[in-house]
Amino acid sequence: MRETSDFRHEWKHEISPVGLVVFSQRISAVMQKEPYARNGMYLIRSLYFDNENDLALREKINGVSRREKFRIRYYNDDPSFIKLEKKSKIDSLCGKQSVTISSRQAQDIVDGNTRWMGESPEPLIRELYSKMQSQGIKPRTIVDYTREPFVYAPGNVRVTFDYNIRTGLSCTDFLDRDCITIPAGDAPILLEVKWDQYLPAIIRDIIQIPGCQTSAFSKYSQCRIYG
C-alpha cells in the first residue's frame, strides 16, 4: 500500500508535563482522538537512516531549508504492519511518502540484504536503494516514543503530543524486542500541529502558548546525542 501526502504546515512547541495535562484537556474538548489510538495513545518505534557523514543530522542542525530523511516504523509493538517513509521539508512545509513493507523486507534492510530493493515495483523502495548506493545512507538509530494524537476535520488538522523519547544508541535491529533503549537525554514533551491550507481559529487559540515560539526540535537529532 502506497501513500503520498501533499505538503502541510507544521508547528512544534516544547511543553512541560503540566502543559501536557492542560493542553490535552483543552484539545479534548474540541478535537477527537485519532481512531487508531489505543486508550488515546500508541507507541511508535522508528529506525532512521543517515550516512557516515551524518548528512541528515547536519542538514537538520544547520537549518537547511530543503531536506529529507528516510525511516521505517511500526506501532504498538506490532511488526505485522511496517511502513517505509520519506519525510521531506521545504521551509515550514512538510510532506511524506510511505509504502508498506513486510517484516522480512524490513529485516533484510537492517541486515544489509538490499539487492531486491533495486528491482522492487515500489518507487520509494527503489529510491531508498539508490540513495543507499550513491550516498551511503544506512540504518543509523532507533527512536522510540509515545504519541497522543487528535484530529479535527476542518483544515485536516492533526495535533499530537510526543513524549518518553528513547534512543537505541548503536542498535539498529529494530525488530529485536530485546534491543535496549534509554531516555534520549532531557528530551521535552513535544506538541506538534499539522494542517493543510488553513488552521481554524478555534484550534489556533487553544494551542497558543504565551511567550513561546515554535520549536525546531527533532526526535532523531535528540536521539543522536550519544553518538
What are 57-68's pLDDT values in tens digits?
A: 999 999 999 999
Over residues 27-69, the pLDDT tens digits come to: 999 999 998 888 899 999 999 999 999 999 999 999 999 999 9
Tell me the residue ranges of DSSP E strands in the chain: 2-15, 32-33, 42-50, 66-75, 78-90, 93-101, 138-152, 157-167, 182-183, 189-195
Residue 227 inside a domain? The answer is no
pTM for the whole structure: 0.93
For the chain, the C-alpha Rg in angstroms (whole number) is 18
Residue 175 inside a domain? The answer is yes
Q: What is the phi-psi region of residue 198: left when phi exceeds 0, alpha when psi lies from -120 to 50, beta otherwise?
A: beta
The alpha carbon torsion through 74, 180, 188, 160 (nearest 10 deg) reads 10
Range of the domain at 60: 2-222
Residue 108 inside a domain? The answer is yes
C-alpha to C-alpha distance for 220 and 73, rounded to whole angstroms: 13
Over residues 174-185, the pLDDT tens digits come to: 999 889 899 999
Q: What total number of domains does the chain contain?
A: 1
Residue 71 inside a domain? The answer is yes
Residue 81 inside a domain? The answer is yes
Mean per-residue pLDDT, 172-200: 93
CB within 8 A of 164, min separation 6: which ones? 144, 145, 146, 183
**Three cell numbers written together for 148:** 497522543
Residue 168 inside a domain? The answer is yes
Residue 30 inside a domain? The answer is yes
Task: Give the pLDDT confidence score for residue 4 in this predicted structure.
Answer: 65
CATH of the domain at 39: 3.20.100.30
Percent of the chain with pLDDT over 90: 84
Over residues 117-136, the pLDDT tens digits come to: 999 999 999 999 999 999 99
Residue 169 inside a domain? The answer is yes
Percent of the chain with pLDDT over 70: 96
Over residues 142-158, the pLDDT tens digits come to: 999 999 999 999 999 99
